[in-house]
């Protein structure tokens, strides 16, 4: 049994906290498909290589009467597809559902050697991960699977958010967390109906124009700025994931036609530290692949700062801005990610 220590690389003095080395494979877009939908399933072999992750979804969005069909469809796809460089994940049903045990006992013996990551929805605390971990260990041992399946938890309950640290640390199998905005909104009793994205009522209003006496003039038309309903949780998740050496992801963006707002949502997550997001339609794969990679301009600038800083200590002025040891660390994050994605 590997311990958490096996997943960590030693910290070089002064280096930013590295993410866990396993898996080092990019996962910018986690593309969801319904394995019970024959039309969708038939397209999967051709999608290998177009996305970092293909995920067969068994949970929400699959009707109760189709759960078995989806599970069997996933087994067929897993057995018949050569996934090449693309990771193969599944989202199983939640632990409070009647389907999850059948999901695990069917999938692990049949395609446990093909699957990379099991995504577990509605995780509430470490006990949920311990349960999955023990069952996986038993099923892997019985099936002679030597590469341990990794576990990814969806953060989509208030209790899950409160227990985030223990969830991240619950098992060396932990690969990452995704923020599930739809279930989280419901569990928190937020007043939204969308899957991710903003709400026109959640806003701040810009200052009114100043009057001569230094006060504010009443101006009902002044600018408003919508705020990100999930900002706190993304930041909370990123801190917890980095602290435990696992990967943070934004979850779904339900308005498929609004590619602009989807890109904004994904970019905010990227800028705050997330490594990827879910894709519910091939158009979102393209957005995620573009957004979750540093721009050429950022990498070029980062290389310039690193070169100018020599041994990485002290300070230099570049284009009128002060750069020091901390800017070098930020620049290395961008350059290392660009190199990882190019490899």
Quick check: 195 binds ligand GLV (CB under 6 A)?
Answer: yes
Indicate the residue among 83 and 89 with the shorter CB distance to ligand GLV: 89
Task: In angstroms, give the least distance from the CB of 152 to ligand GLV.
Answer: 12
Residue 17 has what DSSP assignment?
P
Is 239 annotated in a binding site? The answer is: no
- Binding to ligand GLV by CB under 6 A, coded x per residue (else -) over 59-88, reads -x----------------------------
- 91 belongs to the binding site for Mg ion (CB under 5 A): no
Is-cis flag, bond preceding 23, omega within 30? yes
| Residue among 86 and 94 whose Cβ is closer to Mg ion | 94
Rounded distance between C-alpha atoms, residue 280 and residue 189, angstroms = 24
Q: Within 211-240, which residues bind ligand GLV (CB under 6 A)? A: none
Task: For the chain, give percent helix, strand, coil, nearest 5.
Answer: 45, 15, 40
Report the C-alpha gap between 238 and 235 in whole angstroms: 5
Query: DSSP letters of 293-304?
Result: S--HHHHHHHHH
Q: Take residue 328 and report the two structure tokens written for it.
A: 């070098």
Using DSSP's 3-state secondary structure scheme, residue 228 falls into coil
Does residue 197 bind ligand GLV (CB under 6 A)?
no
Our finding on whether 183 is near Mg ion (CB under 5 A) is yes
- Residues numbered 97 to 156 that lie near ligand GLV (CB under 6 A) are 154, 156
Closer to ligand GLV by CB, 241 or 302: give it: 241
Q: Which of residues 137-166 bind Mg ion (CB under 5 A)?
A: 156
Helix (H, G, I), strand (E, B) or coil at 117: strand
Residue selected from 181, 197, 276, 294 as contacting ligand GLV according to rule CB under 6 A: 181
Instruction: Give the residue, chosen from 73, 180, 197, 248, that forms a contact with Mg ion under the rule CB under 5 A.
Output: 180
Residues facing residue 322 across a β-bridge: 317
């Amino acid at each position: 049994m590997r311990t958490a220590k096996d997943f960590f690389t030693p910290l070089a003095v002064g280096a930013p906290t590295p993410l866990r080395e396993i898996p080092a494979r990019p996962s910018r877009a986690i593309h969801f498909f319904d394995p019970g939908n024959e039309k969708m399933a038939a397209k999967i072999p051709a999608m290998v290589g177009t996305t970092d992750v293909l995920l067969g979804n068994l949970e929400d969005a699959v009707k109760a009467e189709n759960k078995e069909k989806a599970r069997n469809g996933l087994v067929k796809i897993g057995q018949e597809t050569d996934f090449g460089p693309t990771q193969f994940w599944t989202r199983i049903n939640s632990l409070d559902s009647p389907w999850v045990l059948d999901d695990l006992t069917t999938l692990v013996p049949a395609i446990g050697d093909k699957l990379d990551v099991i995504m577990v929805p509605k995780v509430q605390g470490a006990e949920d991960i311990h349960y999955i971990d023990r069952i996986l260990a038993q099923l892997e041992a019985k099936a002679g699977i030597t590469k341990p399946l990794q576990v990814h938890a969806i953060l989509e309950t208030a209790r899950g958010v409160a227990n985030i640290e223990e969830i991240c640390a619950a098992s060396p199998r932990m690969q990452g967390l995704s923020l599930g905005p739809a279930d989280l909104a419901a569990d928190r009793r937020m007043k939204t109906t969308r899957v991710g994205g903003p709400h026109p009522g959640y806003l701040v209003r810009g200052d009114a124009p100043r009057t001569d006496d230094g006060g504010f003039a009443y101006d009902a038309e002044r600018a408003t700025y919508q705020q990100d309903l999930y900002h706190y949780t993304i930041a909370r998740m990123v801190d917890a994931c980095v602290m435990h050496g696992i990967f943070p992801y934004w979850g779904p963006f339900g308005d498929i036609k609004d590619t602009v707002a989807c890109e904004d949502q994904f970019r905010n997550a990227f800028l705050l530290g997330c490594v990827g997001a879910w894709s519910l339609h091939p158009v979102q794969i393209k957005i995620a692949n573009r957004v979750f990679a540093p721009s050429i301009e950022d990498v070029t600038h980062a290389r310039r700062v690193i070169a100018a800083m020599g041994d990485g200590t002290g300070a230099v002025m570049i284009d009128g801005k002060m750069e020091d040891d901390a800017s070098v660390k930020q620049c290395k994050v961008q350059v290392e990610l660009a190199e990882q994605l190019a490899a």
